[in-house]
Amino acid sequence: MLAFFFCLNPAKADSLLTIVIDDIGHSYKYGSKALSLPGNLTYALLPYSAHAQKLYQIGLTSNKEFILHSPMQSIDNRLITKHTLHIHMTEKQFASQLQNQLAQFPFIKGINNHMGSLLTRHAGYMDLLMRELTTKRNLYFLDSRTSEQSVAIQLATEHSIPHLSRDVFLDNEPTSDAINRQFDQAIELSKAQGYAVVIGHPYPATIKVLSQRIPQLSESAIKLVTASTLISRLQEQANEKSTDTTGTGLRRTGSNHAYRLAQKSRH
């Protein structure tokens, strides 16, 4: 990875936590419950799903932050549909498909990958995606890191696209005990490096755990922020440290970080 992130100074502010809820649109019931969670969460809308538009409109009235949860080809081609970005598309087809996805949600702040363990490791198509994003409003890219071989952040950096990378999956094992363990890991990581990016889903157990744990974050000196706010804070830190010639405070995203390597994707 070529990108660098700067650890936030815990003496100046609370550590930051960003929670992204993927797959918004499959279920109206649990999508609504997810939107009702307390705090500044980020919600990833699945285009063409049955309830995405209605949930999007509801969320806009309460200033929720939304991103596009763009369907991308996985290694095993699981859940591939006519709306999925895949490696057999021409450049024109790829651009048109992405534009159609983006057009469904005019007020989103960014994009992350749904599945994508194959596409995100393909430099050519990630280059196409980032080129398309440079023509749009100031959208960021969040790499869900469904593959350890993803090159998405490298290409986002090369195209000067604001970006983040997922640190912890909350609910690969959707039980309360497992989700609580992952949440604990996210808090520990947030304290260690100043921030953490967490991805979960609108599962009943996930919603239950988050409804209990989010109100307790302040007790751990953790501040819940949207993905766009975290990007802004990291950019501010980068600007502050741009004159630091010693390299102090730099952390390369490709390091063998225990939290990152422990996460195994199902996508």
Q: What is the pLDDT of residues 69-125, one digit of tens each?
A: 999 999 987 666 789 999 999 999 999 999 999 999 999 999 999 999 999 999 999
| CA-based nearest residue to 144, from 219, 227, 212, 208 | 227
- The pLDDT score that the predictor gives to residue 118 is 96
- Delineate the domains of the chain, giving CATH numbers in brackets: 4-262 (3.20.20.370)
Distances in whole angstroms, Cα of residue 89 to Cα of each of 98, 118, 141, 159 = 11, 14, 21, 21
> Helix 52-61 crosses helix 28-35 at what angle (to 10 degrees)?
20
* pLDDT tens figures, 16-46: 999 999 999 999 999 999 999 999 999 999 9
Q: What is the mean pLDDT of the segment spanning 241-267?
A: 44
Please report the pLDDT score of residue 13 as a whole number.
Answer: 65
Question: Which of 50-64, 77-91, 238-252 shows the lowest per-residue confidence on average (mean pLDDT)?
Answer: 238-252
Nearest to 237 by CA among 199, 195, 197, 196: 195
Q: Distance between the two ends of the chain, CA-based, in angstroms? A: 21
Tokens 């007020």 found at: 107
State residue 267's pLDDT score. Answer: 56
DSSP state of 225: -
Query: 107: burial class by Cβ within 10 Å (0-12, 13-18, 19+)?
Result: exposed
Those residues with Cβ within 8 angstroms of residue 33's Cβ, 6 or more apart along the chain or in another chain:
202, 207
Give the pLDDT confidence of 180-220 residue by residue, as tens digits.
Answer: 999 999 999 999 999 999 999 999 999 999 999 999 999 99
**What pLDDT, on a 0 to 100 scale, did the predictor assign at position 253?**
37
Q: Give dist(CA 54, CA 28) in Å, integer.
A: 8
Closest CA to 145 of 6, 253, 26, 2: 253
**pLDDT range class, residue 14, cuts 50, 70, 90:** confident
d(CA 63, CA 52): 16
Q: How far apart are CA 189 and CA 207, in angstroms?
A: 21
Higher-scoring residue by pLDDT: 232, 137: 232
Task: Let me know: does 156 contact 34? Beta carbons within 8 Å.
Answer: no
pLDDT at 243: 57
**Quick one: average pLDDT of 58-63?**
97
Taken as a whole, the chain contains a residue count of 267
* pLDDT score, position 263: 47
48 and 26 Cβ atoms separated by less than 8 Å: no
- The helix (run of H) or strand (run of E) holding residue 167 is none
Cα 191 from Cα 14, distance rounded (Å): 9
- The 8 Å CB, 24+ separation contacts for 94-100 are 94/125, 94/128, 94/129, 95/128, 95/132, 98/70, 98/129, 98/132, 99/132, 100/47
The mean predicted confidence, pLDDT, of the chain is 88
- When pLDDT is cut at 50, 70 and 90, the band that residue 250 belongs to is very low
Give me the pLDDT at residue 242, please: 75
Single-letter amino acid code for the residue at 62: S
pLDDT, residue 261, reads 30
Contact assessment for residue 142 and residue 116, using Cβ atoms and an 8 Å cutoff: no
Confidence of residue 8 (pLDDT cuts 50, 70, 90): low
85 DSSP assignment? B
